[in-house]
Structure 1
Amino acid sequence: MKILCKIALLAPALAVSAAWLVVLRLKDVAAPLLVAYGLLLLGLAIGLLWPHALGRRSTRTRVLALLGAPAALSTLALYFAVVFYVTDVPVLLGLASAAALAGALVVGLRGRRGTAGATAGRTRRALLLGGAGLALGALSGLSVSRVDRHRRDVLAQGAQELKEAVRAPGARRRGAVGSVRVFPLHTGDTVVTYGQFYGGLDGWEGLTGYTRTLLDKAQIAVPVYAYLIDHPLHGLMMVDTGVSWEQANDHDGYYGHGGMASRLLTERHEYRLTADQDLRVQVARLGYDVKEISTVFLTHVHDDHAGGLRSLPRATVVMDRRDWDEGVLYPYSFDLVKERLSFPAFDSGPLLAFPHSQDHFGDGSVVLLPTPGHSPGHMCVLVRMDGASALFMGDTLYTLPHLAVDEVRQMTIGGADTARQVEAARRVQRLLASATDTVPLFAHDNTRYRHAVASAFSQGRPDAAGLLALRRHMDTVLTPDWRLRPGQAPHFVPSGAGVGEVAFR
């Protein structure tokens, strides 16, 4: 029975240690260091439960001295090196205060036994610990306002940078509304593993794929695009919202709103965004006001697509209910719009390759197409323009080469979700093949196609020549049967700076 009890204690200790090691790997701690640290934790756990396993003369006291102290110091060092954020100061001081007061209580109770000299010594130690606990508690209380002021200063400095970016030379005047205009907005970059982006046919699938994202740190930076739509009948709209300045530049503060777990399970440097890439700045420099944006079509709830929602509290957010109910979302991004959600029924009948669709306004101008797989309720958005249509892909497919879904595939969830995503990709293929006036617009395209898109949509809508250039570019990358042409296969190119590049050859 004693052995079973010890095993019962060892199991949760190992589980907690494993979770902590995963967090540290997410924070990019080197694998060799984690192996050494993990062995130290394992040795400590075994030594405390079975001291003699580490030697005949081993005792728990020796184990604590030889392994416990290094493990504690290593844990503190790793925490402060890769996890600590300024808002932790009051909490850490409060924990230290509680520990000191608890120690004072224990020493004080023990001080009632023994000789007069020993009792006096214990009393002094109890008073010192109690005084330290009270002082640390006072510092914890005082630090709250200081920490809040620090974060306000960070945000105020960011707000000033955004204002200066809005006023920088080169802003446009708002054009006359006469036709549908679409403006691609490059809202920063996200850092991902190369395999997550391009390795779906090389084992990056399901749980295995997610595990590899922890172990494989061959990373690339890919753009995050949102799209502003100026519609003469339906006003100012967006497809996705990208990431915000706060997510990139106050990452720990932004994700701290979800508690310590949200901050621990996100990567501190996962987003890169300059002031002039912020959604609010780009909209203003195009001659618009974010307050005018009345509708956001959210392809899915992932935070690199929904982070900008906090800048659009007046907008109605249209998204598939399955993503709201079952998708992986970060609530803080949705706090200001959660009362303004609209869920399509997809009851407008079939559209080309899609058996279900939603004609959002009832005039065929914006049609929503379900493409589940990447998330439970992922959808694409088809917007009719004068003489052309734009199909907003979200994360159904990351880039133009991903349309060759049998040769290039992003990491998929696995099982039925992978099958759904591949089927969605094939429906997109058939739609693009039959609707030759339609061009795909991607959320993370890091290929030359994005520059062709930026050129074609530089004034908000492609003319006939611009549309033809985009379709011709597609033909240089993909064959009519959706295979990659020679020279278009992606390859990872390592970089000494840590984040690599993608070459096509």
Structure 2
Amino acid sequence: MAKTLSRVLGKVLLLVLSLVVAAAWLIILRLKDVAVPVLVVYGLLLLGLVIGLIWPGVYGRRFGRTQVGKFIGVPAGLGTLGLYFAVVFYIADVPVLLGLAAAAALAAALVTGLRGRRGTAKPAASRSRRALVLGGVGVALGTLSGLSVGRVERHRQDQLTQAEKIRQEAIHAPGRRQRITDGAVRVFPLHTGDTVVTFGQFYGGFDGWDGVNGYLRTLLDKTLITVPVYAYLVDHPRHGLMMIDAGINWEQAHDHDGYYNHNAMVSRLLSDRDEYRMTSEQDLRVRVARLGYDVTDVTTVFLTHVHDDHAGGLRHLSQATVVMDRRDWEHGVVYPYSFDLVKDNLAFPRFDSGAFHAFPDSQDYFGDGSLILLPTPGHSPGHMCVLLHMDDGNALFMGDTLYTLPHFAVDQVRQMTIGGTDTVHQIDAARRIQELLTEAPNTVPMFAHDNTPYQLELVDSAFSHGRPDAAGFRRLRQHMNTVLTSDWRLRPGHTPHLAQAGRVEFR
């Protein structure tokens, strides 16, 4: 009785473990945008296979493990291979796949050979030949695996060489500017590409996109919109060339799987290969060079937070000191590869400069009041905003505390938040920023992902030469007043709605 119960419990445990692995695989496939009906059929095949193998005969006395393998296992296996090659496969997998196939063939050859020694003369001879064939196949596949390593690397280098050629052409195209050295503080918005996100993730914080539920909904809801990724170049007469965030890099957009394969396949499996888009003109190195600068002259990068759409460009800024909140470095980094070239150049502010407007803690980074760091945790453990004093006004770099100007109406429009105390902290930070902007009417917010006319038309225009005058700052604040009331509510005509073809309309 005890033996039977133990066997049943063992099978139940095996079933649970198999279902957990299968569920994780199905989630990965959904992240890769595999259609739900396909996943349902495929999931039922996997379930039927697991049950049939654990409990042979469950489908009838004549339908044992062999039949389960033939009629359910084969379709499930072919489906697994098809889905893998359709949505997960990357060229760097070729040597690994060939190596695994070689190992499987050699193992089969060994097992077949050992069995042949225990059989009759004729079956043993037949199995020996089969073992020899399998061994030969294994050796051939192993040789191909070794040869393919160099081939794959050459393919990648060819891609990089072609990308460098296109980049140089973009840098030297007509219209390149000369650096202006008149002693003024200048800020240049750099549109470094776009990211593709779900509408709910961007605007659905009041529609159930919060915490764990929000992340689960990103698996099922593929209503996508495209939003910009901005970084900012700062030319400061006293403190040199700086950046606020670093945007994304070319590899993230054009060799996504290769970029995230630098950490482990799990990073590649859990990210969407189409999440970033970038033209050659949007490459950080091109954008900076077209303005008359060189990325190698950047001395300091202020990173609002460590998420990869803000940190990818650090791969081009290895010489710079990267300033970020220590909490983000210790608890927020998801893809360390973006930081590999700067991890020895990190600086962590102590936020010991006292209160600044509504913020009880701040960091006067240079000690002269020119640049103030403000802790705004919530979107990430150590998110921070950056306030830069310019000649005729102030620029407040928001990071992802709020995505767009309409998000200032935090009681009407909200992005997806982490949930719990993190959401509380993020909304608290947003209200402190509201108070700061109310008290400092010559300060304008600068966003990382604003897809509204405020960023795409007014900010880009006002900062096209890096130095808005007082009237330019006033125009930006006047536009804010047309979108938001004095108590931070949206005025009619500025509420985001999803239109056809993934467009966002404000009405």
**TM-score (normalizing by structure 1):** 0.99
Q: Is this contact kept in 2: 1:218–1:494, CA < 8 A?
A: no
Matched with 1:381 is 386
Return the match for 1:465 from 458, 462, 471. Answer: 471
- Contact 1:21 / 1:38 at 8 angstroms: preserved in 2? yes
* Pairing 1:367–2:369 present: no
Secondary structure, counterpart of 2:13 in structure 1: helix
CA distance in 1, matches of 2:236, 2:355: 24
**Structure 1 residue 287 corresponds to structure 2 residue 322:** no
Q: Is the 8 A contact 1:407 1:484 kept in 2?
A: yes
What is the DSSP-based 3-state SS (H/G/I as helix, E as strand, rest coil) of the residue aligned with 2:271? coil
Distance 1:329 1:114, change over 3 A: closer
Correspondence list, 1:117-128, <5 A: 117-128=122-133
**How is 1:451-462 mapped onto 2 (pairs within 5 angstroms)?**
451-462=457-468
One-letter code aligned to 1:484: L
Question: Which residue in 2 is equivalent to 1:178?
Answer: 183
The answer for the alignment partner of 1:278 in structure 2 is 283
Distance across 1 between alignment mates of 2:438 and 2:431: 11
Corresponding residue number in structure 2 for 1:138? 143
Paired letter, 1:488: H
Confirm whether residue 424 of structure 1 aligns to residue 426 of structure 2: no
Whichever residue aligns with residue 487 of structure 1, its letter is G
How far apart are residue 11 of structure 1 and its match? 1.3
Q: How much has 1:56 moved relative to structure 2?
A: 3.3
Letter in 2 for 1:459: H
Q: List aligned pairs for 1:34-49, cutoff 5 A.
A: 34-49=39-54
Task: Give the aligned partner of residue 449 of structure 1.
Answer: 454
- 1:35 Cα deviation after fit: 0.8
Q: Residues 47 and 53 of structure 1 are in contact (CA less than 8 Å); yes or no, is this contact kept in structure 2?
A: yes
1:336 aligns with 2:338: no
> Counterparts of 2:495 and 2:274 in 1: how far apart (Å)?
28
After TM superposition, the structure 1 = structure 2 runs for residues 220-299 of structure 1, keeping only pairs within 5 Å, are: 220-299=225-304
- Offset, 1:259: 1.5
Structure 2 counterpart of 1:491: 497
Structure 1 counterpart of 2:116, from 111, 114, 122: 111
Instruction: After superposition, give the CA deviation of every residue in 1:421-446 in whole Å (9 maximum; x if it has no partner).
Output: 00000000000001001000000000
Describe the SS at the equivalent of 1:72: helix
SS in 2 for 1:429: helix
User: What displacement does 1:52 show?
Assistant: 2.5
**Deviation per residue, 1:433-461 (Å, 9 max, x gap):** 01001000000000000110011101101
Equivalent residue in structure 1 for 2:488, among 482, 486, 495:
482
Residue of structure 1 equivalent to 2:417: 412
8 Å contact from structure 1 (residues 382, 390) kept in 2:
yes
Q: SS where residue 368 of structure 2 aligns? A: coil
Per the alignment, in what secondary structure is the counterpart of residue 413 of structure 1? coil
Alignment of 1:309-324 (within 5 A): 309-324=314-329
Question: How far is the alpha carbon of 1:53 from its aligned partner?
Answer: 2.2
Structure 1 CA distance for aligned equivalents of residues 165 and 490 of structure 2: 46
* 2:77 match: 72
Deviation at 1:328, TM superposition (A): 3.5
Deviations 1:459-504 (A, max 9, x none): 1011122111100100010000000000100001132xxxx01000
- Three-state SS of the structure 2 residue aligned to 1:35 is helix
The corresponding residue for 1:63 is: 68
Aligned partner of 2:503 in structure 1 is 501
Amino acid in the other structure paired with 2:135 = G
* 1:148 paired to 2:153: yes
Code of the aligned partner of 2:504: V
Between the aligned partners of 1:92 and 1:243, the Cα distance in structure 2 is 30
Tell me, in whole angstroms, the C-alpha distance in 1 between the residues paired with 2:349 and 2:58: 62
Does 2:406 align with 1:401?
yes
For residue 420 of structure 1, give the secondary structure of its aligned residue in structure 2. helix
Residue identity in the other structure for 2:466: G
Could you tell me whether the CA contact under 8 Å between 1:177 and 1:231 is conserved in 2? no
In the TM superposition, residue 91 of structure 1 has moved relative to its aligned partner by 0.2
Q: Secondary structure at the match of 1:226?
A: strand
Amino acid at match of 2:114: L
- 1:418 is paired with a residue whose SS is helix
- CA deviation digits over 1:309-364, x for unaligned, max 9? 00000000000000001113311100000000000000000000100000000000
TM-score of the pair, normalised by structure 2: 0.98
* Cα distance in 1, alignment partners of residues 163 and 270 from structure 2: 25
Cα distance in structure 1, aligned partners of 2:7 and 2:201:
46
Q: CA deviation at 1:166?
A: 0.2
Instruction: Determine which of 12, 15, 23 is the counterpart of 2:28.
Output: 23
1 CA distance for matches of 2:344 and 2:355?
30
Match of 2:38 in 1: 33
Contact 1:302 1:328 in 2 (8 A): yes
Distance 2:426 2:94 in 1: 44
Cα deviation for residue 203 of structure 1 reads: 0.7
Judge conservation of contact 2:392–2:473 (CA < 8 Å) in 1: no
* Cα separation, 2, equivalents of 1:421 and 1:117: 76
Secondary structure of 2:124's aligned partner = helix
Alignment match, 2:3: none
Q: Secondary structure at the match of 2:415?
A: coil
Q: Secondary structure at the match of 2:57?
A: helix
Secondary structure, counterpart of 2:129 in structure 1: helix
1:449 touches 1:473 (CA, 8 Å); kept in 2?
yes
1:218 aligns with 2:223: yes
Q: Where does residue 2 of structure 1 map in the other structure?
A: 7
Equivalent-residue separation in structure 1 for 2:328 and 2:500 (angstroms): 35
* CA shift for structure 1 position 117: 1.2
Partner-residue secondary structure (3-state), 1:51: coil
For residues 432 and 58 of structure 2, the distance between their equivalents in structure 1, rounded to whole angstroms, comes to 61
Tell me by how many angstroms 1:8 deviates: 1.2
- Aligned residues of 2:392 and 2:468 also touching (Cα < 8 A): no
For residues 466 and 286 of structure 2, what CA distance do their matches in structure 1 show? 17
> How far apart, CA to CA, are the structure 2 residues paired with 1:20 and 1:60?
23
> How far off is 1:105 after superposition?
0.3
1:86 aligns with 2:88: no
Give the CA deviation at 1:140: 0.4
Q: CA deviation at 1:46?
A: 0.6
